């Protein structure tokens, strides 16, 4: 009876040992078959982490417009410094700065009493001479009749005729003086030669004005701006170039304008500036004397063009783009030539870059030359420009 517990204990210990061996064997078998699988999965995850997802755009070749800005001052297309051609005391000036005037409207008037008297004197003298000439013409007819009858000498006849010629000459001179007096009387009134705006007055009522002294500055209603282009811009400028005008003081931008004059030859001064005059379309509130910015769009030679986002460090010496070939990002050094409307024209240094190549516009900041990439989207240039404009 004492041997049975010992037997059962031995059997129990043996069973436990067998189970332990089975579990250890299963664990070894599991460790041997799972390790390669986990290693492959980890390697796949690491490879996927190294591949960057990017957005690309296609490189094109075309002329990229260049938009330049030049400062100027608005002025009237018609401008005049008005003055009297005769002198006198200013007795009336019914207009002030800023007044709009119509063509022929009276702007200023001189005291014309002296010119009225001169005109009256010339008219009276002319009347006197007409009477004297009439008398001599009758005397001439009588002398001729008497001379035909032998009752008057040749000397008497010549004397009458000479006196008549002298009076006629005096009458011609009197007529000239009368016309001059009438002209001076009219010139004592200063009228607007065209419709416009008074931009400045130089003389006040009561002042004595000499002939030729400016009295009023008048500007036409149509407005223009004159700018000067350097030779580099003038060489690419065309008379039909697209222009627009900003007026910062009025908060007006993009006003429509057109080129009305372009100086084909530069100024003789150093720097050779070329004058350009642009005329603004009629717009309320636009007057002479406002600061203006004229934006000129110039063309150029066809060059490689890409979105500006494609350029890494565009303002530095190491500007570059990343081209995608066969799923690999290749760094291509470039020079930025021109910027316009969210795009840049490029000149390639070293590696080649051509039309149709894909360059990365998103996701390239952390890239290195030779990194593997996956293109998740391709961007059209036209859509890029519209997005940049927005």
Q: How large is the average pLDDT for residues 263-284?
A: 75
Q: Per residue in 148-186, pLDDT tens? A: 887 778 888 888 889 889 999 999 999 999 999 889 999
CA-CA distance, 206 to 91, in Å (whole number)? 6
The yes-or-no verdict on residue 55 having pLDDT over 90 is: yes
User: Between vectors from CA 28 to CA 22 and to CA 29, what angle results, nearest 5°?
Assistant: 90
User: What pLDDT is stored for residue 172 in this prediction?
Assistant: 92
The yes-or-no verdict on residue 42 having pLDDT over 60 is: no
User: What pLDDT is stored for residue 19 in this prediction?
Assistant: 44
The yes-or-no verdict on residue 91 having pLDDT over 80 is: yes
- Average pLDDT along the chain: 82
User: What pLDDT is stored for residue 265 in this prediction?
Assistant: 64
Length reported for the chain: 390
Taking each helix axis from N to C end, the angle separating 113-148 and 154-187, rounded to the nearest 10 degrees, works out to: 160
The yes-or-no verdict on residue 6 having pLDDT over 90 is: no
**Count of CA atoms in the C-beta half-sphere (13 A) of 201:** 18
Of 8-22, 164-178, 352-366, which range is least confident?
8-22
pLDDT band at 332, cuts 50/70/90? very high
Q: What is the pTM of this model?
A: 0.55
Strands of the sheet containing 303-307, edge to edge, are: 60-62, 303-307, 343-348, 328-340, 320-325, 358-362, 52-58, 373-379
Helices (H), 211-279: 231-234
User: What pLDDT is stored for residue 46 in this prediction?
Assistant: 47
The yes-or-no verdict on residue 302 having pLDDT over 80 is: yes
pLDDT band at 193, cuts 50/70/90? very high
**Count of CA atoms in the C-beta half-sphere (13 A) of 316:** 8
User: What pLDDT is stored for residue 82 in this prediction?
Assistant: 95
Q: The tokens 């900003």 sit on which residue?
A: 246
pLDDT band at 30, cuts 50/70/90? very low
Strands of the sheet containing 79-83, edge to edge, are: 79-83, 214-220, 196-201, 100-101
Q: How large is the average pLDDT for residues 232-252?
A: 84
User: What pLDDT is stored for residue 224 in this prediction?
Assistant: 92
CA-CA distance, 11 to 19, in Å (whole number)? 13
Strand pairing class (373-379; 52-58): parallel
Count the neighbouring beta carbons within 10 Å of the beta carbon of residue 40.
10
- The listed CATH number (3.30.450.20, 2.40.420.20, 2.60.40.2380, 3.90.1150.10) that belongs to domain 53-64+302-389: 2.40.420.20
Q: How large is the average pLDDT for residues 122-128?
A: 90
- The listed CATH number (1.10.443.10, 2.40.30.170, 3.40.50.300, 3.30.40.230) that belongs to domain 68-77+219-298: 2.40.30.170
DSSP 3-state of 325: strand
């Amino acid at each position: 009876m004492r041997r049975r517990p010992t037997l059962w204990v031995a059997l129990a210990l043996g069973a436990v040992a067998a189970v332990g061996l089975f579990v250890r064997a299963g664990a070894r078998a599991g460790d041997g078959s799972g390790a390669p699988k986990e290693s492959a999965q980890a390697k796949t995850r690491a490879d996927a982490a190294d591949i960057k997802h990017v957005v690309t755009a296609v490189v094109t070749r075309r002329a990229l417009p260049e938009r330049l800005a030049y400062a100027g001052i608005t002025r009237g297309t018609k401008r005049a410094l008005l003055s009297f051609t005769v002198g006198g005391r200013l007795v009336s000036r019914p207009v002030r700065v800023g007044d709009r005037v119509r063509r022929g409207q009276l702007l200023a008037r001189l005291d014309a009493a002296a010119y009225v008297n001169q005109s009256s004197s010339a008219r009276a003298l002319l009347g006197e001479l007409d009477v004297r000439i009439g008398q001599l013409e009758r005397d001439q007819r009588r002398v001729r009749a008497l001379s035909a009858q032998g009752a008057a000498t040749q000397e008497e006849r010549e004397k009458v005729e000479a006196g008549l010629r002298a009076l006629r000459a005096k009458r011609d001179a009197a007529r000239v003086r009368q016309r001059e007096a009438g002209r001076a009387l009219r010139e004592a009134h200063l009228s607007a030669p065209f419709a416009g705006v008074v931009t400045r007055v130089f003389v006040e009522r009561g002042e004595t004005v000499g002939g030729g002294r400016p009295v009023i500055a008048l500007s036409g209603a149509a407005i223009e701006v004159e700018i000067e282009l350097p030779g580099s811009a003038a060489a690419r400028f065309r008379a039909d170039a697209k222009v627009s005008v900003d007026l910062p003081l009025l908060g007006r931008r993009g006003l429509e304008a057109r080129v009305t004059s372009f100086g084909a030859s530069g100024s003789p001064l150093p720097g050779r500036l070329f004058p350009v005059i642009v005329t603004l379309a009629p717009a309320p509130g636009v007057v002479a004397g406002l600061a203006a910015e004229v934006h000129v769009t110039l063309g150029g030679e066809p060059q490689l063009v890409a979105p500006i986002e494609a350029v890494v460090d565009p303002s530095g010496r190491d500007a570059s783009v990343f081209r995608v070939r066969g799923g690999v990002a290749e760094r291509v050094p470039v020079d930025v030539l021109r910027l316009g409307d969210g795009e840049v024209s490029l000149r390639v240094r070293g590696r080649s870059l051509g039309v149709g190549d894909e360059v990365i516009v998103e996701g390239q900041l952390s890239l290195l030359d030779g990194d593997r990439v996956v293109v998740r989207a391709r961007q059209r240039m036209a859509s890029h420009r519209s997005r940049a404009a927005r």
